[in-house]
């Protein structure tokens, strides 16, 4: 019978884990403690083989007696924490923790770890937690971040980048306890762990990292990618090597995780223009006006999912994606979707995904889904107006103003009314004749294009349904009191 002590100040968590272990493993006797006094007593009475403990049990002076009991009994330790910080990882290492879980976590992950320890105990392969060692901190943080004129002995830098930041403390402990042939110096950073190998057997390091990756994925669901900087010629400072390695990490944006990538030379990004061209802006206006989901999907796949080495700078791609989102935002405002919380929330989520998403293919898929949602909303809005012939005709004008062939007869046929009768009804309800209202809408859209795009006056005239630039300029001046070019200049000052 294996004895397990669960120490957590959260009685619900403690009792839940106790029940989970007791009902799942017949060879385990589990006890729970929700305060230090009970934890100390049970530690002495049980002499547990396994301790599952909240890290805050070691957070104050009163915990010293419990800490001493743990060091004397030397159980295998699984630690729980709500703070995935460097300090939590250091404390866990000092205690000899074998596994660190960041709350909340799936119960099956805890069960898997307990099952693994049971198997080790039964086969006699379990190791006692190592004694705390006050090793000299060799992690050269200042040399990593500060430029230096000094060169260093050639060494290999590797970056361990998990897809989810919250597993960094667990990954740090995993690397600390991993059996490297030549143990590296580990540096825990905000989004990754840097390993400095003093030995430069590149092939050996590459093979070790591939084995490590496989071992990690056996015990963790979060994907991990490893970058090995093989460009370690003498003369480079540690800061230069780190800068190169950090850049290499960004390649996961394109290739994903679950891989070991070896670089024999610095990574170079290919430059791209991050902004939509006038032709691309015009194309997106057409896509959205026509609600062409298929063409939108094809265009996004071609533009963002067919990159090869050399890859473009991810930061420029994110800017390009925000340029597309700006076109969608304009479309939302045209149909007043920005006044609906559902669509506004979806827009903000899309904006955040573009800025911080870790994988380009996921961002593109989310953008396709968001665009489809907006197109569907616009189509539903059209349908809602279909029962009122005037509202239906106005909506038709607002969505087809760009069509040079639109006229009164077209609208009358759309609402199944006599053109003469429809003209009188339209003027009475709208307060303006059909042609006046059409020109007013066209000028309004032209004003937006003049301010929000770099399209030429001629292109804007064509996009807003005018037969030629001269007629457009005359109508625009009639409604605004300014020529198109003068209006653009005044709005951009």
Average pLDDT over residues 253-260: 92
Is residue 462 very low, low, confident or very high in pLDDT (cuts 50, 70, 90)?
A: very high
CATH superfamily of 141-263: Reverse transcriptase/Diguanylate cyclase domain (3.30.70.270)
State the Cα–Cα distance between residues 491 and 489, nearest whole angstrom: 6
Does domain 389-492 match CATH 1.10.10.60?
yes
Distance CA 156, CA 457 (A): 57
And the tokens for 138? 């060799």
Q: 187 forms bridges with which residues in the sheet?
A: 194
- CATH classification number, 2-123, choose in 1.20.1260.10, 3.60.21.10, 3.40.50.2300, 3.90.1150.10: 3.40.50.2300
Over 70: is that where the pLDDT of 125 sits?
no
Estimate the crossing angle of helix 278-290 against helix 360-384, to 10 degrees: 50
Does the model's pTM come out above 0.85?
no
Sorted by sequence, the CB contacts under 8 Å of residue 109 that are 6+ apart come out as 101, 221
Q: In whole angstroms, how far apart are CA 53 and each of 42, 116, 240, 333? A: 13, 18, 41, 53
Which band of pLDDT confidence, cut at 50, 70 and 90, is reported for residue 126?
very low
Q: Is 414 left (phi over 0), alpha (psi -120 to 50) or beta?
A: alpha
Instruction: Please tell me the least confidently modeled range out of 110-114, 248-252, 350-354.
Output: 110-114
Higher pLDDT, 95 or 283: 283
- d(CA 289, CA 48) in angstroms, rounded, equals 68
CA distance 247 to 227: 10
Q: How many Cα atoms sit within 13 Å of 326 on the Cβ side?
A: 14
Averaged pLDDT, 383-390: 61
pLDDT digits (tens, 9 = 90+) for 297-331: 999 999 999 988 899 999 999 999 999 999 999 99
Residue 488 Cα distances to 278, 283, 331, 426, angstroms: 16, 22, 20, 32
181-226 pLDDT per residue, tens: 888 889 888 889 999 987 656 678 888 999 999 999 888 888 999 9
Residue 128 confidence (pLDDT): 36
């Amino acid at each position: 019978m294996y004895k397990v002590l669960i120490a957590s100040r959260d009685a619900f968590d403690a009792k839940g884990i106790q029940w989970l272990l007791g009902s799942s493993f017949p060879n385990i006797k589990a006890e729970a403690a929700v305060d230090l006094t009970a934890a100390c007593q049970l530690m002495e009475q049980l002499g547990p083989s396994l301790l599952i403990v909240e890290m805050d049990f070691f957070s104050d002076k009163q915990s010293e007696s419990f800490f001493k009991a743990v060091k004397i009994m030397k159980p295998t330790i699984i630690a729980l924490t709500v703070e995935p910080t460097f300090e939590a990882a250091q404390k866990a290492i000092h205690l000899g923790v074998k596994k660190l879980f960041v709350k909340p976590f799936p119960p099956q992950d805890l069960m898997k770890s307990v099952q693994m320890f049971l198997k080790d105990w039964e086969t006699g392969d379990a190791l006692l937690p190592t004694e705390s060692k006050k090793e000299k901190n060799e992690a050269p943080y200042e040399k990593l971040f500060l430029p230096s004129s000094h060169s260093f002995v050639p060494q290999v830098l590797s970056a361990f980048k998990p897809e989810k930041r919250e597993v960094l403390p667990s990954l740090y402990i995993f690397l600390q306890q991993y059996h490297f042939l030549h143990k590296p110096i580990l540096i825990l950073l905000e989004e990754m762990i840097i390993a400095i190998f003093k030995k430069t057997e590149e092939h050996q390091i590459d093979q070790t990292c591939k084995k490590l990756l496989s071992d990690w994925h056996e015990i963790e669901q979060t994907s991990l990618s490893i970058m090995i900087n093989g460009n370690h010629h003498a003369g480079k400072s540690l800061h230069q090597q780190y800068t190169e390695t950090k850049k290499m990490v960004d390649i996961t944006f394109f290739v994903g995780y679950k891989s070991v990538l070896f670089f024999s030379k610095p990574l170079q990004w290919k430059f791209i223009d991050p902004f939509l061209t006038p032709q691309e802006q015009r194309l997106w206006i057409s896509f959205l006006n026509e609600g062409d989901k298929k063409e939108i999907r094809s265009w996004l796949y071609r533009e963002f999912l067919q990159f090869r080495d050399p890859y473009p700078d991810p930061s420029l791609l994110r800017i390009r994606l925000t340029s597309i989102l700006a076109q969608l935002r304009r479309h939302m405002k045209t149909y007043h979707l920005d006044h609906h919380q559902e669509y506004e929330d979806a827009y903000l989520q899309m904006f955040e995904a573009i800025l911080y998403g870790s994988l380009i293919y996921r961002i593109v898929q989310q953008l396709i889904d968001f665009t489809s949602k907006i197109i569907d909303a616009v189509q539903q809005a059209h349908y809602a107006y279909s029962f009122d012939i005037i509202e239906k005709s106005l909506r038709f004008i607002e969505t087809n103003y760009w069509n040079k062939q639109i006229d009164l007869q077209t609208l009358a046929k759309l609402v199944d009314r006599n053109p003469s009768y429809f003209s009188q009804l339209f003027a009475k309800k709208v307060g303006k004749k059909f042609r006046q209202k059409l020109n007013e809408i066209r000028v309004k859209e032209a004003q937006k294009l003049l301010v929000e795009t770099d399209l030429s006056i001629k292109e804007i005239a064509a996009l807003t349904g005018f037969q030629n630039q001269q007629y457009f300029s005359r109508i625009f001046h009639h409604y605004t009191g300014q020529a198109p070019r003068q209006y653009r200049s005044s709005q951009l000052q």
